[in-house]
Amino acid sequence: MIIPRKKLNLWERLYLPAIIGGFKITLRHFFRKKVTMQYPEERWVVPDGYRGAPYLVEDQDKRIKCVSCQLCEFVCPPKAIRIVPPGPSGAPDVGNVEKAPREFEIDMLRCIFCGFCQEVCPEEAIFLMQDYSLTGTTRQEMIYNKEKLLALGGVHQDNIRKWKKKAEEAKAQKVPP
């Protein structure tokens, strides 16, 4: 079946309607309010509930809150978290904490910012901060170790000072009545 084409008139062959329509759109956008953000001078305001990068936090006594339970490592869908526990003897250098991790790494290139690690942590040691600007020049720079995660996470103010209570109980038991 052959479909006959309609002949174009002179006005349609010049493509002037299409060019004029393009100029109309350009002029309309030219006089609108600008929406381009000049990053990094201007920053996006992060809404409440934003799931950013996961970081470790310390308590008020500057001790790591993580007890190396490895729940966050097990629940992480892309397996971005790697924890090396201190072993059966624990970590005597951190005081009364049961088991502070020897190594704690998060591969930010693999992390999907799902928030499962924060939800499953029984000690509230890992939080998703409102950080969306993760940059690095190599893959190794994007693997955050325990020290970097603690520096970025900061101090979490707790109402319950669990380890201080346990230290006081241990002192009370050692003192003979």
- 31 belongs to a structural domain: no
- 46 belongs to a structural domain: no
Looking at the chain, the whole-number percentage of residues with pLDDT higher than 70 is: 82
| CB of 69 closer than 8 Å to CB of 162 | no
- 20 belongs to a structural domain: no
- 115 belongs to a structural domain: yes
| CB of 107 closer than 8 Å to CB of 136 | no
Claim: this prediction has a pTM higher than 0.75: no
Q: Into how many domains does the chain fold?
A: 1
- 117 belongs to a structural domain: yes
Instruction: Report the alpha-carbon distance of residue 112 to residue 101 in Å, rounded.
Output: 23
The residues, any chain, with a CB within 8 Å of residue 59's CB and separated by 6 or more, are 65, 155, 156, 158, 161, 163
Instruction: Report the alpha-carbon distance of residue 95 to residue 101 in Å, rounded.
Output: 13
Would you state the structure tokens that stand for residue 53, as one six-digit string?
């990068």
Q: Look over the chain and give the mean of its residue pLDDT values, rounded to a whole number.
A: 84
pLDDT tens profile 35-75? 888 888 888 888 888 888 999 998 887 888 888 899 999 99
- 75 belongs to a structural domain: yes
Question: 58 has which bridge partners?
Answer: 64, 155
pLDDT value, residue 91:
55
| CB of 148 closer than 8 Å to CB of 95 | no
**What's the domain range around 78?**
54-153
| CB of 68 closer than 8 Å to CB of 126 | no
